């Protein structure tokens, strides 16, 4: 690193001192905290993004958002060249960078890491970082801090994409690194054209008149704004948007949004007795999560949640059906059998896992966190993953897509009513509709709607695929969460010795019982999950297992 680069880094970093007494950690969702203490972190994340661009010789993304957090929070996520999340190998460097106590320490850290990664600061490579932000009022100033960080690396430029959803920015990074057009308009055009293609291939089924309209809770965030733009380009989809964020009293994520709906299981603001029986959906604050719900009765504010597990099941059922159509007995298509797999965490409702296995699908569990789910899904020709919170997507291997393209060419002259031809075209359309970079509420919503139309299903038909087992989640405060060591996708405890046997003994007392504990990734708590045949039983099992944390760690949860 030459003196010019050192001087530039020292001068720029001195303008963004780290707040005292705060420790930052780059988790699955990047850095996230009160917006008032984030300027130095976002500045340093800009440096990291520029270095990552130089290392990979690719475009990198930076998104300023705190997703489903309260409006006073903000954060930053880094998108790797694939459009996916920042590689885990760089997360320790991200932590160290954010917590370096002063400019000199920061410079030493950058110098040492750049030597290790063979990053040369000579300005010969033009590092490009796509920048986006959500609708939070703190976004503009933090975006400026990100730009300052990027520009402190010689030859680096930040390209401001304006107010976008997190999945849009990830999609743009992926598209541009694949040599494709990657603007917001390109995103809308790809989603809308793919949706129309699937709809045109429908066998004529349609949802009933009561369920004809989809009512969307926009979380008073960026997703509401974007879904309005997208629906203008669509035919055959009747969407009524609520909680768009346009009103002066509309507060991002407050009493609204996918995270609130999925956790609290109550109607969000703007919904009520007039919506009984209708098909409703909620986006989260940056539109990377999606859940559906039903208001079952005018006499209660409780809802029937149709969560990420049900979305995964719907997608898996549809994809499996298309593969079955293509593999008619005696067909030439039997020469290649694509591997379809679904990936869940232990938090997936046991009824969903049972349903998927009954379909004959391979089901794999991973540790909690989208990065684990995404990576495992890449092992399949078609990998589908979702968390119950509504974050998930479908991944298609290049081998499978190439095979599909070959089949499309072979079937070009087949009759228009050829079912095999339609199945090929549907799967190709799905691969373009779904956001393969990251979970995307907008693309996921369009695919759900297209499949419901294809099946001729109402939301009630969909929700009846299986009935969730009652469950309960608790957290127990501890002094040191690292005392709990887990294995087998976090479903079994290795340490302390004996605790797993105690969990097994408690679980055996309850019909359809299942329970596990795992340490939080961000705070000193142990999270407990339990399922059973009734809600009372699930609550009792969760409480019993929570008490085991006290017993084996000797720490009060008060």
Residue 87 lies in a domain: yes
Known catalytic residue at 67: yes
d(CA 188, CA 171): 11
Residue 132 lies in a domain: yes
Q: Is 388 annotated as a binding residue?
A: yes
d(CA 195, CA 189): 10
47, 87: one domain: yes
Residue 72 lies in a domain: yes
388, 497: one domain: no
User: If you search the block for the tokens 């950058």, which residue do you land on?
Assistant: 110
Q: Is 483 annotated as a binding residue?
A: no
Query: Can you give the pLDDT at residue 554?
Result: 67
Q: Is 527 annotated as a binding residue?
A: yes
476, 416: one domain: no
78, 149: one domain: yes
Residue 204 lies in a domain: no
Domain boundary among 163, 197, 219: 163
**SS3 for 234?**
coil
414, 484: one domain: no
DSSP bridge pairs for 343: 364, 385
d(CA 175, CA 181): 6
Q: What are 233-236's contacts with CB under 8 Å, separation 24+? A: 233/188, 233/189, 233/192, 234/192, 234/195, 234/196, 234/446, 235/196, 235/199, 236/196, 236/199, 236/453
Residue 513 lies in a domain: yes
Domain ranges, residue 479: 471-553
Domain count of the fold of the chain: 3
- Strand ordering across the sheet containing 525-531: 471-477, 525-531, 514-519
20, 148: one domain: yes
Q: Is 286 annotated as a binding residue?
A: yes
Residue 238 lies in a domain: no
Measure CA 558 to chain center. Answer: 33
d(CA 435, CA 441): 9
Domain boundary among 105, 138, 163: 163
**SS3 for 162?**
strand
Q: Is 87 annotated as a binding residue?
A: no
d(CA 397, CA 384): 12
320, 367: one domain: yes
435, 483: one domain: no
Contact between 208 and 458 under an 8 Å Cβ cutoff? The reply is yes
Q: Is 67 annotated as a binding residue?
A: yes
Which residues are within 8 A (CB) of 247 and not within 5 positions of it... i.e. 6 or more apart? Answer: none
Print pLDDT tens along the chain (558 aa). Answer: 888 999 999 999 999 999 999 999 887 779 999 999 999 999 999 999 999 999 999 999 999 999 999 999 999 999 999 999 999 999 999 999 999 999 999 999 999 999 999 998 888 889 999 999 999 999 999 999 999 999 999 999 999 999 999 999 999 999 999 999 999 999 999 999 999 999 999 886 444 444 579 999 999 999 999 999 999 998 878 999 999 988 878 899 999 999 999 989 999 999 999 999 999 999 999 999 999 999 999 998 999 999 999 999 999 999 999 999 987 544 454 567 899 999 999 999 999 999 999 999 999 999 998 999 999 999 999 999 999 999 999 999 999 999 999 999 999 999 988 999 999 999 999 999 999 999 999 999 999 999 999 999 999 999 999 999 999 999 999 888 889 999 999 999 999 999 999 999 999 999 999 999 999 876 789 999 999 999 999 999 999 999 999 899 865 443
CATH value at residue 378: 3.40.120
The number of residues making up the chain comes to 558
Using a 10 angstrom Cβ sphere, with 0-12 exposed, 13-18 middle and 19 or more buried, the burial of residue 197 is middle
Closest-CA residue to 367 (of 88, 97, 134): 88
Instruction: Count CB-CB contacts under 10 A for residue 57.
Output: 10
138, 43: one domain: yes
337, 411: one domain: yes
Q: Is 550 annotated as a binding residue?
A: no
pLDDT in tens, 471-506: 999 999 988 888 999 999 999 999 999 999 999 999
**SS3 for 279?**
strand
CATH value at residue 114: 3.40.120.10
CATH value at residue 512: 3.30.310.50
pLDDT in tens, 125-177: 899 999 999 999 999 999 999 999 999 999 999 999 999 999 999 999 999 99
d(CA 544, CA 551): 11
d(CA 103, CA 11): 8
Label residues 170-193 b or e (16+ Cβ within 10 Å = b).
bbbbbbbbeeeebebeebbebbbe
512, 399: one domain: no
Residue 348 lies in a domain: yes
Q: Which listed residue (13, 40, 67, 352) is catalytic?
A: 67
Residue 277 lies in a domain: no
Q: Is 80 annotated as a binding residue?
A: no
Q: Is 417 annotated as a binding residue?
A: no
398, 488: one domain: no
Domain boundary among 118, 140, 163: 163
DSSP bridge pairs for 493: 486
């Amino acid at each position: 690193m030459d003196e010019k680069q050192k001087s530039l880094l020292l001068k720029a970093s001195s303008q963004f001192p780290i707040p005292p007494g705060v420790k930052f950690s780059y988790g699955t969702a990047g850095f996230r905290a009160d917006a008032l203490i984030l300027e130095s972190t976002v500045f340093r994340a800009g440096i990291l993004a520029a270095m990552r661009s130089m290392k990979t010789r690719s475009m990198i993304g930076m998104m300023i958002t705190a997703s489903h957090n309260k409006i006073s929070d903000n954060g930053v996520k880094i998108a790797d060249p694939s459009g996916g999340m920042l590689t885990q190998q760089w997360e320790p460097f991200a932590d160290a960078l954010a917590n370096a106590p002063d400019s000199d320490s920061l410079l030493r850290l950058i110098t040492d890491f750049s030597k290790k990664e063979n990053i040369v600061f000579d300005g010969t490579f033009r590092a490009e970082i796509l920048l986006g932000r959500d609708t939070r009022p703190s976004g503009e100033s933090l975006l400026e801090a990100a730009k300052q960080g990027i520009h402190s690396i010689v030859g680096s430029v930040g390209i401001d994409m304006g107010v976008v959803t997190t999945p849009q920015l990830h999609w743009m990074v992926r598209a541009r690194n694949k040599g494709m057009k990657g603007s917001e308009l390109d995103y809308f055009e790809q989603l809308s054209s793919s949706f129309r293609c699937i709809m045109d291939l429908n066998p004529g089924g349609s949802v009933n008149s009561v369920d004809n309209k989809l009512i969307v809770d926009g979380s008073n965030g960026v997703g509401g704004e974007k879904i309005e733009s997208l629906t203008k380009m669509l035919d055959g989809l009747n969407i009524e948007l609520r909680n768009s964020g346009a009103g002066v009293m509309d507060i991002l994520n407050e009493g609204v949004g996918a995270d609130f709906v999925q956790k609290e299981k109550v109607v969000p603001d703007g919904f009520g007795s007039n919506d009984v029986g209708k098909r409703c959906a909620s986006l989260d604050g940056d539109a990377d999560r999606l859940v559906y719900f039903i208001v079952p009765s005018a006499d209660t504010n409780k809802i029937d949640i149709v969560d990420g597990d049900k979305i995964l099941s719907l997608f898996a059922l549809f994809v499996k059906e298309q593969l079955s159509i293509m593999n008619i007995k005696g067909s030439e298509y039997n020469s290649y059998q694509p591997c379809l797999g679904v990936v869940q965490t232990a938090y997936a409702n046991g009824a969903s896992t049972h349903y998927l296995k009954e379909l004959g699908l391979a089901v794999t569990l991973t540790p909690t966190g989208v990065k684990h789910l995404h990576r495992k899904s890449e092992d399949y020709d078609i990998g589908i993953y979702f968390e119950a919170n509504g974050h998930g997507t479908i991944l298609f291997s290049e081998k499978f897509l190439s095979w599909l393209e070959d089949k499309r060419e072979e079937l070009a002259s087949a009759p228009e009513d050829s079912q095999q031809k339609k199945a090929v075209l549907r799967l190709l359309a799905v691969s373009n509709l779904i956001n393969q970079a990251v979970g995307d509420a907008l693309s996921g919503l369009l695919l759900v709607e297209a499949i419901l139309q294809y099946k001729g299903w109402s939301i009630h038909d969909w929700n009846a695929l299986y009935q969730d087992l009652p469950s309960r989640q608790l957290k127990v405060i501890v002094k040191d969460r690292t005392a709990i060591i887990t294995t087998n996708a976090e479903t079994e405890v290795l340490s302390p010795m004996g605790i797993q046997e105690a969990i097994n003994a408690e679980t055996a007392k309850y019909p359809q019982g299942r329970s596990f504990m795992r340490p939080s990734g961000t705070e000193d708590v142990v999270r407990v999950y339990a399922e059973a045949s009734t809600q009372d039983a699930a609550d009792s099992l969760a409480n019993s297992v929570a008490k085991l944390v006290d017993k084996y760690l000797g720490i009060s949860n008060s």
